[in-house]
Amino acid sequence: MGQLETRTLGRTGITVTRLGFGAMEVRGPRIWGGRPVADEEAQAILTAVLDAGVTFVDTSNDYGLSERYIGRYLADRRGGYSLATKCGCSMVPAGDHDETPHTWTRDHLLWNIDDSLAKLHTDYVDLLQLHNATVEQVEQNKLVEVLQEIKAAGKARFIGASTVAPHLATFISWGVFDSFQIPYSALERQHELLIQRAHDAGAGTIIRGGVAKGEPGAGLGNRDRWARWERAQLDELLGPGESRTQWLLRFILSHPGIDTTIVGTKNPEHLQENVSAAQAGPLPAGVYAEAKRRLDAAGERPLRA
Give the catalytic positions in this structure: 63
SS3 206: strand
Inter-axis angle of helices 106-120 and 143-152, nearest 10: 40
Q: Are 116 and 86 in contact (CB under 8 A)?
A: no
Q: For residues 96 and 155, what is the distance between their CA atoms, to the nearest angstrom?
A: 22
Judge residue 72's burial from the number of C-beta atoms within 10 Å of its C-beta, 0-12 exposed, 13-18 middle, 19 or more buried: middle
109: amino acid identity, one letter = L
First-to-final CA distance of the chain: 35
- H helix or E strand, kind and range, residue 123: none
Could you give the CA distance from residue 163 to residue 51 in angstroms, rounded to a whole number? 30
Report yes or no: 156 and 128 within 8 Å, Cβ to Cβ.
Answer: yes
Q: Are 231 and 294 in contact (CB under 8 A)?
A: no
Nearest alpha-carbon partner for 126 in 203, 23, 13, 3: 13
DSSP 300: -
Q: Angle at the Cα of 177 (from 161 to 118), degrees rounded to 5? A: 60
Distances (CA, A) of 264 to 87, 137, 178: 19, 29, 23
Measured between alpha carbons, how far is 113 from 173 in angstroms, rounded to an integer?
26
